Amino acid sequence: MNIKENISLETYNTFGIAVNAKRFISVDSVYQLQQLLKIERDVFLISGGSNMLLTKDIEKLVVHINIKGISIDNETSDVVYLTVNSGENWHEFVQWCISENYGGIENLSLIPGNVGTCPIQNIGAYGVEVKDTITKVEGLAIKTGKLVHFSNEQCKFGYRNSIFKNEAKGKYILTSVSFRLTKRNHTLNTSYGAIETELISNKITHPTLKNISDAVISIRKSKLPDPTKIGNSGSFFKNPVIPISQFLLLQKEFPTIPSYPVSDTEIKIPAGWLVEQSGFKGKRFGDAGVHKRQALVLVNYNHASGKEIYELAKKIQKTVKSKFRVSLEIEVNIID
Ligand code: EPU
């Protein structure tokens, strides 16, 4: 086993936080992972590093999941069933699907991270959530080293949520994700306002998967910072879901408050709006800041520490709470 010592994790997390791993190993097969679990179980996992904020050096053995490979399990003339190993880069996988004319995840273009972590927070964007294409998730039980399968139902997917953030948290290392994608008669989702506008401005009336992906890429590039240039983890907060009764009171006070329907009793409000209205959009505190075009995204301008970014997040939560009486929940995993 090639365990390295004192490795900087700066390039392994999209926030670009320079903490060290005392010991570090990159694994590229399920077998290697099983062998490793026989000797060490109390490990810290890192994959694409796109949804974590590291606030200190990692004492545990850091295991970088780098298991690659895509296989076609089955196909008909209408659909294809694929299994993708967890170390595959998400966006590259999406782009490969588009080149093969496999539909279903084109709206999820340019989301940072790897395939193996997409089910954990049920990544979603522009009207699509990954849960709608996942058929199965496979992982190793850390306790026993045995392979375990989760059907879509067993994953208990919700908005930015799944069993892997709740009762199964910390118990499994996800090794592959299986998808069902369409080969023809694709269900295109262009309902999200900005996509429609983008397609119209490009004079596209009958969009292909690639047209949609290109539209999403262009929207994301115009709003969200590129993590290879400015460290960030995408949306730092979840959009809060509150009771409609509470929303109506807020609306009296703040008539322009935007909202999305959720159910007969609950409504979702954009965290980005709350953060912007609290005066944080574009603000910089040392090297930690709030992105100038999307207040939902906290950024590391250069050498911010994870602690500085976490302090900023707490300051935002406090201000939003006192102004709107709404609690902002952090979406990113804080490692402290
Ligand atoms: N808004 C503001 N100020 C801001 C940002 C947003 O007022 O600085 C308000 C606007 O009213 C806007 C509304 O918030 O209309 C919604 O903003 P946007 O359409 O940009 O989407 P979002 O709710 O902020 C969610 C996801 C994103 C995903 C987009 C598009 C969450 C927490 N975030 O953002 O996901 O890309 O929708 O579907 O649900 C991610 O998870 O990393 C991520 C980027």
Span 81-87, mean pLDDT? 98
Residues 33, 165, single domain; the answer is no
Determine which residue's CA is closest to atom 29 belonging to ligand 1.
125
SS (H, E, C) 204-259: CCCCCHHHHHHHHHHHHHHHCCCCCCCEEEEECECCCEEEHHHHHHHHHHCCCCCC
Residues 147, 89, single domain; the answer is yes
Residues 81, 141, single domain; the answer is yes
- Determine contact, residues 45/139, Cβ cutoff 8 Å: no
CA of 237 to the centre of ligand 1 (A): 10
Of 169, 200, 223, which one is at a domain's C-terminal end? 223
Is residue 281 within 6 Å of ligand 1 at its C-beta? yes
4-8: strand order across its sheet: 4-8, 20-27, 58-65, 43-46
Of 50, 65, 80, which one is at a domain's C-terminal end? 65
Name the residue range of residue 39's domain: 4-65
Query: Tell me, what's the pLDDT at 204?
Result: 95
Of 41, 65, 89, which one is at a domain's C-terminal end? 65
Query: Tell me, what's the pLDDT at 266?
Result: 97
CATH number of the domain residue 206 falls in: 3.30.465.10
Residues 43, 139, single domain; the answer is no
Residues 264, 277, single domain; the answer is yes
Residues 219, 84, single domain; the answer is yes
Query: Tell me, what's the pLDDT at 285?
Result: 97
The 8-class DSSP code of residue 328 comes to P
235 in active site? yes
Residues 45, 61, single domain; the answer is yes
Nearest ligand 1 atom, CA 270: 14
Residues with Cβ within 8 Å of 184's Cβ and at least 6 positions away in sequence, in order, are 77, 78, 101
Instruction: Give the tens place of pLDDT for each residue, 96-107.
Output: 999 999 999 999
Determine the Cα–Cα distance for residues 333 and 50; give it in Å rounded to an integer: 10
Tell me the whole-structure pTM to 2 decimals.
0.94
Pull the structure tokens for residue 258: 């935007």
Instruction: Give the tens place of pLDDT for each residue, 119-154.
Output: 999 999 999 999 999 999 999 999 999 999 999 999
Query: Tell me, what's the pLDDT at 191?
Result: 87
Residues 145, 201, single domain; the answer is yes
Domain count for the chain: 3
Instruction: Give the tens place of pLDDT for each residue, 250-286.
Output: 999 999 999 999 999 999 999 999 999 999 999 999 9
CA of 187 to the centre of ligand 1 (A): 23
Residue 1 pLDDT > 80: no
Residues 108, 143, single domain; the answer is yes
Residues 163, 52, single domain; the answer is no
Instruction: Give the tens place of pLDDT for each residue, 25-65.
Output: 999 999 999 999 999 999 999 999 999 999 999 999 999 99
Nearest ligand 1 atom, CA 235: 42
Residue in 50, 165, 235 to alter for ligand 1 test, most ligand atoms within 8 A of Cβ: 235
Residues with Cβ within 8 Å of 46's Cβ and at least 6 positions away in sequence, in order, are 9, 12, 13, 52, 62, 63, 64, 65
CATH number of the domain residue 312 falls in: 3.90.78.10
Residues 195, 287, single domain; the answer is no
Determine the Cα–Cα distance for residues 206 and 42; give it in Å rounded to an integer: 52
Residue in 195, 260, 262, 273 to alter for ligand 1 test, most ligand atoms within 8 A of Cβ: 273
- Determine contact, residues 108/130, Cβ cutoff 8 Å: yes
Instruction: Give the tens place of pLDDT for each residue, 291-332.
Output: 999 999 999 999 999 999 999 999 999 999 999 999 999 999
Residues 106, 29, single domain; the answer is no
CA of 270 to the centre of ligand 1 (A): 6
Strand pairing partners for 123? none
